[in-house]
Structure 1
């Protein structure tokens, strides 16, 4: 719009000035040579002028309606822009004057009216632009005019704790009626404010004024009260103006909820603004927002779509509570992930049901705790609390499940119940007992199609799931950075594990997605090394494979770095090769790409690189690759799905898993791609899948000597004389979490340092503020309130 106005303005000015050449011919009506057609020029300019006026008036209106402002302020803003409609009116009225002057022989005399209306148009526009500056002037002369209440002060008690904390980085040193008054609040970078009773998210649209009064009690003690001031009387306003003019300069902040607050930081001490309180309106909102609701119903519908049935009941029990054998100690609770996908609940002893035909999702929870259970373990959530924080159609206690089952059997001609596992039929057969009057109805249990349907649904992540994975990755990023900053001081692998886990816990991520792998030296060549208890002395590299969970959603990140802050020659060669493998493989990720092709690319690059280093020989790159000799250095797959599990489920998918005989889904082994050619169609990438790309090169002495060098098909290509040189490297793996987008990919963990950036942190450290900015889930948008 600015461009259009600029071009139009230049044309109008220069066109009017040089309508005739020479310019004097404009005033000589008897000479038309060298002049543009005046009527056509004036009316075309008028049409453009009217059109731009209408656009300037109308374009802001939809945006103003969307502003999160009090109604009074929104109307005021719309009035300012609406006043500009008068400019449009003057432009139209001026057309009559233009018609008169176009037929005139004396343009100086007959152009007076057109000049008057042009002047009115310009001055109205200037008045509109100047309106915002009037408000502060009026508020100084008549401060009560802009107050929502002229003589009273309305307060809402935020905190009544005897030891309420100091809420900000400044103090209002005035005294009201014998009370000390502290003003302020901790303003967080992402819009969070703390109170003694907990924390709540805020969305500030105008000035926030918080007051804490310390009042003497009758027994000589003091009580601390925190208030929000909605308005102030003239007398109180005078006191504030006379005693101090400090307040919070609150800026508009992006909306967020608790899960997005990991990068929130209090305002630094001493960072105050001093400004007259009359320049600001009253406080508008400080409210605790409910966390984003888990989309259980959306997930249930997705499962039903993949089930491709018209009726039936999905019956899925969660993880039961239990104790260790011969102990009263409770087993660490981990919710069954299939159950969580349809419920979002982390409560033990629950059941979820979904009636496919009636689109009815229900949660069945244990009865509320009472008596000594509450004393020892606290209260369990009620059905009302669960319903309030979920999108279930119904929530009830599981001791009332029988009534629901009877109703379901009664209304179904052929009751069908979908189960996840065959062994669930034992429990389900006790639950789904037909009523005596309907004994001829036999409930059919189907445990063949629910798991494939849920796998197909789970592999495509919802927007909520992607947010949770991002959050887990953001906290994991902080933990990896914290390890890098201190690794030079560490003496043992256990310190790496301790710092990583403690950083995650400090950011409210109390569960790791899997056991931390902190292998140094030769331990880096053990893929799932878990001891983490050996000395770091004399070792070159650490392979840190670690990621936390956030609300049951996993992250999975691996970084390899030198303990000393400097790579050995051999370690640098292997690291650069793996980095190239990962970079080129990630670049291949896009919708409809076959992940097996990407995996093959990793082996091709590895083969080429190992040939150049002399670790492979006696054949061409193609010959060695076909023989599969690269498996001796890269024995695992390139990656896997990521979600509720670190190695998440999929529709046949990346891991190509087989059940171990006698075991269920939770006990599986991966198999080589050579044995899985029939699964090729299942390895296609689709938008909103989250996968890992984690190439590696390993020098595992046992595997090399006891497995690969005893295989004649592979050993002939391995240069045994070179192995001793590289054994001290141990292993290098680099892993990132990749979101498949509509047109390519997004590396969710790209901000976690690696390579030269990791070396800089190890050797020099990095300013904490810079690190926080790099890994922040959101950026603070600082918007200055230009009018109200």
Structure 2
């Protein structure tokens, strides 16, 4: 094909997207509607609160130790640039989350020291390398770093050994020795203390206002990305196009990283919980599931939305969608401090069972309690209701127990009561997956007995439905940080409007 023949393809695709994009961000009826917005207003003011975080860690740590304050300190080395084996390029840099929590610093090769006696926080920058300056420009210097970050002192890495010489009689705790390359430094450190990890995780468990604003920004970027994916079906012919559309709009809004690899699936592929292929075409498919979250300053959103490819839910797709929406809504209405997350997880299973009894997937001759006792719902909802969210998609402090003999709770990542300023995902799902049916249903006669397999077969083409929102637990309830609509009729309108506008103006070439 000649060069000039390619121009109409790209031009039409771009214009079809621009015209097909719905200008409004649809919000469920309980919230005010507003247009697709720039998240600039959600930028927190001031410096990342490193000192506040360090003191929080100290308090949790000392609550577990009998040592006097003067006897302990903390040193954590940040992440480093890692080379790709047999290649002159490097892996994408991802900062050590514990280090970032104590500094707000994204500079590779840095370290941080916190003196528990005088609460002094010292940042160590990597030594200046002239070759790096030649290729990448001058690095941030100590004076600039002191101005930018919430620390008391900034030194270079070469100053660390003599600096630590003043603390030879002190217990200097660290997470690990992975990025400690000087033996004289390593021998002064106490790595992998369980009380330190306890303190770090408990400190990160609840978020301060600065962190919440970072999460709000990530959430609004994510809202816009999901809206764009729903609106651009005329130019989306492959699951990979969903992936490309989402990441394109995230980067355009300043989010260069995703909290995790986006899950972009269609039809029966929607039944795979963490689908990774993202490359099958959409022909003869009815349903779409997109699980993706943009990241902002190492804090990530995590949102899942489902929609019909045609712009109109089929009967079976809508019935399963309504089931999941009911599961999520009943859980949402009970979120507040003190509520046991395990009980909400069990509630979601009960809502599923009631719906399946109404749909005939579970046989009418069995009660909700019988089906619950047999754990038959596990086949269709095998994962946990949700998890903590913050710097990590599955954030720390959840007390998961993957050895739990109860299969209904085994994969639940949050096993503690809710607290104010926790951020959690509320993400129930229903799946029709041949592997799950074989593993969790067919091998258990008592579970199989309650399922009408003929009725179940009618839903297999749907694959699965998951609806996921990011929830801040407040003093008396919750705040939903996710704004993109989950209302099925509003979703149909977004998708249909995109299809109509795109088709009415252009014939899009594959």
User: What TM-score do the two structures reach when normalised by structure 2?
Assistant: 0.84
2:288 aligns to what SS in structure 1? strand
Structure 1 residue 261: Cα displacement: 5.8
Structure 1 residue 327: Cα displacement: 1.3
Change (3 A) 1:477 1:375: same
Contact 1:480 1:752 in 2 (8 A): no
Match of 1:7 in 2: none
Match of 2:215 in 1: 469
Match of 2:493 in 1: 760
Of 392, 402, 412, the match for 1:645: 392
**Inter-partner Cα distance in structure 1 for 2:278 and 2:124:** 41
Confirm whether residue 479 of structure 1 aligns to residue 239 of structure 2. Answer: no
**TM-superposition CA deviations, 1:216-251 (whole Å, max 9, x none):** xxxxxxxxxxxxxxxxxxxxxxxxxxxxxxxxxxxx
Contact 1:513 1:555 in 2 (8 A): yes
Match of 2:154 in 1: 395
**Inter-partner Cα distance in structure 1 for 2:174 and 2:275:** 36
Confirm whether residue 490 of structure 1 aligns to residue 241 of structure 2. Answer: no
**Inter-partner Cα distance in structure 1 for 2:351 and 2:164:** 58
Contact 1:556 1:692 in 2 (8 A): yes
Structure 2 residues without counterparts, runs of 5 or longer: 1-36, 500-510
Contact 2:215 2:301 in 1 (8 A): yes
Change (3 A) 1:263 1:457: closer
Confirm whether residue 420 of structure 1 aligns to residue 420 of structure 2. Answer: no
Of 338, 341, 351, the match for 2:98: 338
Match of 1:714 in 2: 447
Match of 1:242 in 2: none
2:232 aligns to what SS in structure 1? helix
Change (3 A) 1:632 1:530: same
Change (3 A) 1:673 1:385: farther
Of 719, 725, 733, the match for 2:466: 733
Contact 1:517 1:545 in 2 (8 A): yes
**Inter-partner Cα distance in structure 1 for 2:447 and 2:274:** 24
**Inter-partner Cα distance in structure 2 for 1:757 and 1:602:** 24
Of 234, 247, 254, the match for 1:501: 247
1:346 aligns to what SS in structure 2? coil
Structure 1 residue 379: Cα displacement: 2.2
**Inter-partner Cα distance in structure 2 for 1:261 and 1:396:** 37
Change (3 A) 1:433 1:540: closer
Match of 1:306 in 2: 60
Confirm whether residue 747 of structure 1 aligns to residue 493 of structure 2. Answer: no
Q: CA RMSD in A?
A: 2.6
1:683 aligns to what SS in structure 2? coil
Structure 1 residue 709: Cα displacement: 1.1
Contact 2:388 2:398 in 1 (8 A): no
**TM-superposition CA deviations, 1:8-58 (whole Å, max 9, x none):** xxxxxxxxxxxxxxxxxxxxxxxxxxxxxxxxxxxxxxxxxxxxxxxxxxx
**Inter-partner Cα distance in structure 1 for 2:424 and 2:162:** 43
Structure 1 residue 713: Cα displacement: 3.5
**Inter-partner Cα distance in structure 1 for 2:219 and 2:44:** 23
- The 5 Å alignment of 1:84-103 reads none
User: What TM-score do the two structures reach when normalised by structure 1?
Assistant: 0.55
Structure 1 residues without counterparts, runs of 5 or longer: 1-259, 265-288, 435-442, 659-668, 767-788
**Inter-partner Cα distance in structure 2 for 1:698 and 1:621:** 19
Confirm whether residue 620 of structure 1 aligns to residue 374 of structure 2. Answer: no
* Higher relative contact order, structure no. (Cα contacts within 8 Å, ≥ 6 residues apart): 2
Confirm whether residue 450 of structure 1 aligns to residue 160 of structure 2. Answer: no
Larger Rg: 1
Change (3 A) 1:741 1:599: same
**Inter-partner Cα distance in structure 1 for 2:39 and 2:405:** 36
How many equivalent pairs are there?
456
Of 96, 113, 120, the match for 1:360: 120
Structure 1 residue 712: Cα displacement: 2.3
